A and B are shown apart, each in its own frame.
Chain A
Amino acid sequence: MTLVEIRSLTKLFRKGDETVTPLDEVDLDFKEGEFLSLMGPSGTGKSTLLNLIAGIDRPTSGTITVAGTEITRLSRSQLADWRAAHLGYIFQSHNLIPVLTAYENVELPLLLLRMSRGERARRVRFALEVVGLGDRADHYPRQLSGGQEQRVGIARAIVANPTVVVADEPTGSLDARARQQIQELLCRLNDELGTTMLMVTHDTEIAAIAKRQIRLDEGKLSEVSGHVRKLDLASA
């Protein structure tokens, strides 16, 4: 079943007198449960596409429909509500709130939903267990390593059981070991929890963990053919 439908999506920027077109009449579909990686050189508009799908930026033209909702038609407040209910966002640099503990950071998206304190606690504990940080709930971001911070960021992204999770270079600021852990975690989320995931990366090795790869170049999307997933839970 098609979860995300992108039609004729165009985004223009003005840089001085020059007009930059990172996305030019882009069409893309992806299905529920899919793990999609979006590759391309730096500055080609990968993050722009991801931000448009996440509803934190507006296209110049075209439509994005997620689970039947055309998000490009929503107001700012409606988009915020939509993000709270349907979107999980994994940032490149974890972006945790420094004054809140790991537990409180993960709990944040749930505070926006109608949910009892007990249900919130259950979900936060579960999300932290999934990312392997059940014993770090009371730690502040400054007390965690870079990899652990990113795992808390992932727990925050999945805690509300969103329709789609987007990840913007999720391993970009990590060392090799932490990068490996995050890759495994993302695969597990997709395989075990069936989380639909769109990951942006310029690193072909990391992109290879996705089940489907697409490339963005000069504003156009192209499917990477003959792709075989390089890492799965069995190998992990």
Chain B
Amino acid sequence: MFHFAPYVLKGLWRHRARTFLTVSGSAVAMFVFCFVGAVQDGLESLTQERENALIVFQENRFCPTTSRLPQDYAKAIAAIDGVKDVIPIQVFTNNCRASLDIVVFNGVPAEKLRTARNLTLVSGSWDDFQQRRDGALVGRDVAARRNLKLGGTFAIGEVAVTVAGIFESEVPAEQSLIYTHLEFLQRTSGLDAVGVVTQFEAQLADGVDADSVAATIDEQLHAGPVATVTRRKGAFQASVLADLVSLVSFAHWLGYACVVLVLSLVATTTVMAVQDRVREHAILQTIGLRPARVFRLVIAESTVVCFLGGTAGTGLALLVLTAGGLAIGTEGVALAFRPSLPLGVAGILVSLATGVLAGVTPAWHAARAHIVLSLRH
């Protein structure tokens, strides 16, 4: 088969304008496919995150600026069986509505932040963060988006922080957060949040029934000044992102549409290429190529075109996603667009499969054509 590789490649080169346009079209479609895939992966990772953690939020509240829970609820929650630790979190965001440039501050006690989150500092230090009252640990993606550097200052509304470190996390959405000291955020002018927090994160012991503990928390706090609703962390984030989930679910059809687009684009190009070379294929068969080999030559051609486009589109998408640190957020929860190696491999495999599929019909026609009639073509 590889003996005929020069024939396939030179054939594509002969019609380079057509080949280039088809490869470009495939690349754009696979770029969108990977983008959609990255959003879906990000959503999946967010909604399945930390199944052994619960979020306690004020009942009937959605935007974090409206949830105000007494900070001393922490003791009551910590006393419940199965709860290993409780992290009070004050959330401040620049935008409660869906936004592609959401900035979310999470005020957390420094010592709890270090133990509860698996953050890897790529610059700065924990000591610097702990020593600075206005120190902030900035997620890599938000730092890239906002061009934040170590030691620089950054302000959103009344909140002004100094970047004490930039971190990476295994959880992509974390990289779109900015962590500050809890007390600093509570005392920020305008928030008026001393003694209250937005939410608690209750970390559970292994083997505990999370739903049962959530029910117990809400039951115990029901008698307090503010009623709560407690959910698994993934479910909480899914509920906050409910509107976006619908959009993302719709977007996955866009991903499939891109694959169909590549399929029809490459199939059309391959049909044109086969129609141009009816006589050539007849010559090859006269020389002694079996129909099956002619079939494979055409399939190889469509697969090469798809592979080139798919690899270019997938590579570009991964590059943009990695470098751009894009995220969409709403109500204080950020959904990171998550590029990954499996996504890249999937993109290339999908383009290969699409290439094979796109070539089947034209290849069948080329292989089954009557030699004598085709020679007169």
Which A residues form the contact surface with B (CB < 8 A)? Answer: 51, 54, 56-57, 76-77, 80-85, 87, 89, 91, 95, 97-100, 104, 108-109, 111-112, 156
Contacts and interface: CB of A to CB of B under 8 A. Distances in A.
Given A84-B288, A97-B280, 14 more contacts: A56-B375, A76-B290, A80-B289, A81-B288, A82-B288, A83-B287, A83-B288, A84-B287, A85-B288, A87-B288, A91-B375, A97-B283, A99-B10, A99-B14
B150 interface: no
Contacts of A98: 14
B279 interface: yes
B283 A95 contact: yes
A77 B288 contact: no
Contact of A56 (B7, B13, B372): B372
B286 interface: yes
Contacts of A56: 285-286, 371-372, 375
Nearest to A108: B287
Interface in B8-39: 10-11, 13-14
Interface residues of B, number: 24
B6 interface: yes
A109 B288 CA distance: 7
Interface in B341-377: 371-372, 375
Contact of B288 (A57, A80, A97): A80
Interface of B: 3-4, 6-7, 10-11, 13-14, 279-280, 283-293, 371-372, 375
Nearest to B280: A97
Contacts of B11: 99
B286 A108 contact: no
A99 B8 CA distance: 9
Nearest to A113: B288
Candidate in A89, A91, A111 with the most chain B CB atoms within 10 angstroms: A111
6 contacts: A56-B286, A56-B375, A57-B372, A83-B286, A100-B10, A111-B4
